Amino acid sequence: MEVTVTINGQAVSADVEARTLLVHYIRDTAGLTGTNVGCDTSSCGACTVHLNGEAVKSCTMLAVQADGQDVTTIEGLAPSADEMHPMQEAFMQCHALQCGYCTPGMVMASVSLLDENPNPSEAEVREGLEGNLCRCTGYHNIVKAVLTASGATEGMPA
């Protein structure tokens, strides 16, 4: 069936099977491979993108459910080719990644978190990222990055 999803501001149309998952539509049809598949069972958050501005797990949605909707992926976050989104900048400054596999989903979840709660406490950041797993960093620097992006790093041990 014909599906049109606006991904990072650009309409992407394709004739796909109804059972096509959104994450496969993003990666294979739109060719945007920044969004990763980790667990494929709704647990790890590596596939997190924004649907109409809210973080969702794209391995647990059908592409047809996003038909006619707006999707933002990690590729669409930065304002321009030579400028990073403040959350990406904070992840870089705080060394919030090691292998980087979880990072696209982690950044998308973090941006959504600050949209809903612009001044979270450290505990709120930790809880707000409960849907994203990282096997490398131990989370400490990820939490620090999100607090940095929110403008609050006071009290955060180095």
Partner 1 sequence: MIPVAFDYQRADSAEAALAALAEHGDEAKLLAGGHSLLPMMKLRLAYPTVLVDIGRLNDLSYVRDGGDHVAIGALTRHRDIEIDPMIAEHAPLLARATANVGDPQVRHRGTLGGSLAHADAAADHPSALLALGGSVVVRSADAERVIDAGDLFTGFLESALEPTEMITEIRIPKHTGAGWSFQKFNRRAQDWAIVGVSAQQVNGHAQVALVNMHPTPVRATAVEEALANGASAADAAALAAEGMEPSSDLNASVEYRQHLARVLVGRALTDAGIA
Asked if 6 touches ligand FAD (CB under 6 A), the answer is no
E-only strand ranges, the chain: 2-7, 10-15, 48-51, 54-57, 70-72
d(CA 53, CA 43): 20
d(CA 145, CA 131): 17
Asked if 153 touches ligand FAD (CB under 6 A), the answer is no
Among 32, 64, 106, 125, binds partner 1 (CB under 8 A): 64
Which range touches partner 1 (CB under 8 A), out of 28-36, 81-89, 93-101, 125-133? 125-133
d(CA 66, CA 39): 21
Among 34, 101, 153, 156, binds ligand FES (CB under 6 A): 101
Which range touches partner 1 (CB under 8 A), out of 45-53, 71-79, 88-96, 134-142? 45-53
* Beta carbons within 8 Å of 19's beta carbon, 6+ residues apart: 62
d(CA 29, CA 17): 12
Total residues at the site for ligand FES (CB under 6 A)?
A: 23
Nearest distance, CB of residue 98 and ligand FES, angstroms: 4
d(CA 110, CA 89): 13
Among 60, 69, 98, 153, binds ligand FAD (CB under 6 A): 60
Asked if 42 touches ligand FAD (CB under 6 A), the answer is yes
Asked if 84 touches ligand FES (CB under 6 A), the answer is no
Applying CB under 6 A, the residues found at the interface with ligand FAD are: 42-43, 60
